[in-house]
Amino acid sequence: MTQHVLLIEDEPNIAEAIRFLLTRDGLRVSHAAEGAAALQMVWQDPPDLMILDHMLPGMSGLEILTAVRADPKSRDLPVLMLTARGRDREMAQEAGADCFMTKPFSNAEILAEVRSMLGQPRRGG
């Protein structure tokens, strides 16, 4: 069965680039650009991995992560936190992020991390 990644990113160019990269790698990618919609998606169509931007309109990535970790159904969901602000790493880890990546990142870097978090073998690319 195809693994499902929920991408929560409000910057359209970044979201489209990540979606293209992951879809090309055989993953199913859902996308939300803000927090309330993202939380609905987590509970209605549970992903295997969530890629979460830190700075979002309405609800921050940390607030989304806190809500996800508080719910027993989503508590163990692997979360890769993305942000342009490297100093947010400690807050993201305290909130329960499994991995933290700063923007800008390379395609190879995010793809390798997603594969690792989903338990897939690392491949060239």
Task: Give per-residue pLDDT as tens, 102-118.
Answer: 888 899 999 999 999 99
> What was the pLDDT predicted at 80?
96
CATH number assigned to the domain comprising residue 31: 3.40.50.2300
Q: Evaluate whether residue 124 is within a structural domain.
A: no
**Which pairing describes strands 28-32 and 4-8: parallel, antiparallel, or unpaired?**
parallel
Place of tokens 């719910």: 71
Place of tokens 């991390």: 113
Integer CA distances (angstroms), 119 to 23, 43, 116, in order = 17, 22, 5
pLDDT bucket at 86, cuts 50 / 70 / 90: low
> What was the pLDDT predicted at 121?
57
Once rounded to an integer, what is the mean pLDDT over residues 18-45?
95
Q: How many domains would you assign to the chain?
A: 1
Q: Evaluate whether residue 58 is within a structural domain.
A: yes
pTM of the model: 0.91
